[in-house]
Amino acid sequence: MLCQECGVKPATLHFTKIVSGEKTEFHICESCAREKGEVLPGTSGGFSIHSLLSGLLDLEGAGKEKTAATKNTQSLRCDNCGMTYSQFSKLGRFGCSSCYNYFNSALDPLFKRVHGSTSHVGKLPKRAGAKIMFKRQIEELKQDLQQSISQEEFETAAGLRDQIRRLEKEITQE
Amino acid sequence: MSSLRFTEQALSDWMRSGGSHCEIVLSSRMRIARNLQQLPFPMLASHAQAEEVLKQLAPVFNKGTDTGFGVFELLKLEDLEELDKKVLVEKHLISPNLANDSRGGAVVLNDDESVSIMINEEDHLRIQCLYPGLQVREAWQRATAIDDIFEAAVNYAFDDKRGYLTSCPTNVGTGLRASVMVHLPALVMTHQINRILSAVNQVGLTVRGIYGEGSEAVGNIFQISNQITLGQTESEIIENLHSVVTQIIEHERNARERLLSDSALRITDRVKRSYGILSYAALMELKESAQRLSDVRLGVDLGILEGPSISVLNELNVKTQPGFLQKMFGDEMTATERDMYRAKLLRETLGSQH
């Protein structure tokens, strides 16, 4: 698809802008995006992945009534670096790794939108990873346990319970 | 070994060997973003905090040497001349971001420049491995091994659910950006490129110009990389990229064959004209030189020209960049002077002395 602005370069940015219910689709190339900076959501002059992200974050609340929940989200604050959620949504970047904890309740929709997923399934750090692997296993076993109980398979349930206890013991021993 | 070595030579040693599919794939690159616990990310870090990051990470390189990763040299960005920074960017050894805002920034390079580790860029640590041709698996193996060495020595910011925590939400999870640089002139000439690029976008990959974010594709060179870093394993990301790039190579090959069979005279004319212009012009703008070099590269691949080797063409791609020209011919240059020296460099390298 060619850029709808210059009609020369391939369109590499595709997005939809909704203003008071009216939907407009954009298919443009990066150089036109940079020139047109102002008309795109969440940008002011310079166009970058961060301004695009912050546009996404801002849109979360836009168009809707500011509910108590969104107000609460905006006032979330990271105690480690001092960044607030509203600063984060303007910058499109976290201040430190603790921000992930403090903003956790608001992050799922963002990650879902950017990555289509909210949880990591890849590499685990070797030192901290063993514990996480046990935790992941325990979570799975607990789900199985619930299922066996609801299906009244008590023998299986007892076995699962023992397995969970063993793993929990191993974690505390580490 | 001095820092000058890294900026005097246009072609990194790793680029001299071809690698698989090297007639179409210029390079494969893995970048892993990591951060230390607690310390603010570089964007917010004070000078002292940035120094602390460097203090924690720098000793690890000695361990790297012990475990067989070769010799590394650490360069602090504040100690480098502006021009040297520019050249490092043109060689893809550091990002424009690190060159422009180098508070507490450093780069660690190994002897053949195939490993470049940036400190205090957007994240505390960015491990980058470069391989010639299509070698995404090999590049990943090396990057993850280096990652393991760091992980054994420092405490990474890692979360059970979110994975490796990064400054930008687009890198969270694996922190992995796997990319491949491809030369696709026949797909561009046969107007198939847009269709292919939009298909690429639909499978979670993204396409950019060769100098990264915000730059346009010059000389028919495209960078294809993964877009998603959360919810996919590293091997899924790498295999997806590998398989898509393999298919693109196939399409490019078919398009080249079709060009040769359907319009041999036209393509021969185009290649030879470009070769002639590069060999004789007195002024040469960067954009034109990139396009003409692309034609010549295609001509060499198709056997239309016996001319310059792929290695010489790779070298010219880097040497014709503004920073490198200034490095070779003098610091202060007007745009016209740059075009003049670029033309001179091309004439001399491609054999004509006129």
**Per-residue pLDDT tens digits for A2-50:** 777 777 777 777 766 665 566 667 777 776 776 654 344 443 434 556 6
Beta-strand ranges (E) seen in chain A are: 13-19, 22-28
Of B91, B311, B31, B342, nearest in space to B211 by CA: B91
Q: Are B173 and A122 a contacting pair at CB < 8 A?
A: yes
C-alpha of A115 from chain center: 7
What's the Cα-to-Cα distance from B158 to each of A92, A98, A104, B151, B173, rounded to whole Å?
Answer: 20, 10, 14, 11, 9
Domain boundaries, chain A: 1-47, 49-115, 129-173
A34 neighbourhood in chain B, CB within 8 Å: 214
CATH class belonging to B5-173: alpha beta
B191 contacts chain A (CB < 8 A): no
Look up residue B351 and give its two tokens.
């054999």
Pairwise CA distance, residues B94 & B96, whole Å: 7
CA dihedral of residues A140, A142, A144, A147 (deg, nearest 10): -140
- How many beta-carbon contacts under 8 Å exist across A and B? 146
**ipTM over the 0.95 cut-off:** no
Mean per-residue pLDDT for A129-137? 77
Which residues 6+ apart lie within 8 Å of A84 measured at CB? A74, A75, A76, A77, A78
| Contact by Cβ (8 Å): B267, B250 | no
Please state the pTM of the whole predicted model: 0.79
Q: Are A127 and B151 a contacting pair at CB < 8 A?
A: yes
Beta-strand ranges (E) seen in chain B are: 25-34, 72-76, 106-110, 115-119, 125-132, 158-159, 163-164, 176-183, 205-208, 221-226
Look up residue B211 and give its two tokens.
């100098």
Residue with tokens 């303007």: A90
Instruction: For chain A, positions 123-142, list CB contacts with chain B under 8 A.
Output: 123-128, 132, 135
Look up residue A107 and give its two tokens.
């992050």
B230 contacts chain A (CB < 8 A): yes
Which residues 6+ apart lie within 8 Å of A40 measured at CB? A17, A26, A33, A47, A52, A55
A119 neighbourhood in chain B, CB within 8 Å: 161-163, 230-231
Q: Are A111 and B43 a contacting pair at CB < 8 A?
A: no
Q: What Rg value do the Cα atoms of chain B yield, rounded?
A: 21
First to last CA, chain A: 56
Of B309, B330, B319, nearest in space to B284 by CA: B319
Q: Are B213 and A98 a contacting pair at CB < 8 A?
A: no
Return the sign of the alpha-carbon dihedral for residues B197, B198, B203, B205.
Answer: positive
A87 neighbourhood in chain B, CB within 8 Å: none
SS3 state at A94 = coil
Instruction: List the B221-226 sheet strands across, edge first.
Output: B72-76, B106-110, B115-119, B125-132, B25-34, B176-183, B221-226, B205-208
Looking at the partner chain, which of A92, A122, A126 has a beta carbon nearest the beta carbon of B233?
Answer: A122
Q: How far is A67 from chain B (nearest CA, A)?
A: 25
B153 contacts chain A (CB < 8 A): no
CB atoms under 10 Å from CB of B261, counted, come to 8
B95 neighbourhood in chain A, CB within 8 Å: none
A96 neighbourhood in chain B, CB within 8 Å: 38-41, 44
Q: Are B151 and A126 a contacting pair at CB < 8 A?
A: yes
Looking at the partner chain, which of A9, A31, A114 has a beta carbon nearest the beta carbon of B169?
Answer: A114
Per-residue pLDDT of chain B (354 residues; tens, 9 = 90+): 345 677 777 777 777 767 788 889 989 999 999 999 989 999 999 999 999 999 999 888 766 556 666 678 889 999 999 889 988 998 889 998 899 876 789 999 988 888 999 999 999 999 999 998 999 999 999 999 999 989 988 999 999 899 999 999 999 999 999 999 999 999 989 988 888 888 888 888 988 765 444 445 578 999 999 999 999 999 999 999 999 999 999 999 999 999 999 999 999 999 999 999 999 999 999 989 999 999 999 999 999 998 788 888 888 888 898 888 888 887 788 889 999 999 999 999 997 544
A6 contacts chain B (CB < 8 A): no
Look up residue A139 and give its two tokens.
């979570």
Domain boundaries, chain B: 5-173, 263-350
CA dihedral of residues A96, A97, A99, A100 (deg, nearest 10): 150
B50-87 b/e with 16+ CB inside 10 Å = b? bebbbebbeebbeebeeeebeebeebebeebeeebbbb
Looking at the partner chain, which of B152, B164, B230 has a beta carbon nearest the beta carbon of A111?
Answer: B230
**Per-residue pLDDT tens digits for B278-312:** 999 999 999 899 999 999 999 999 999 987 888 88
| Contact by Cβ (8 Å): B230, A120 | yes
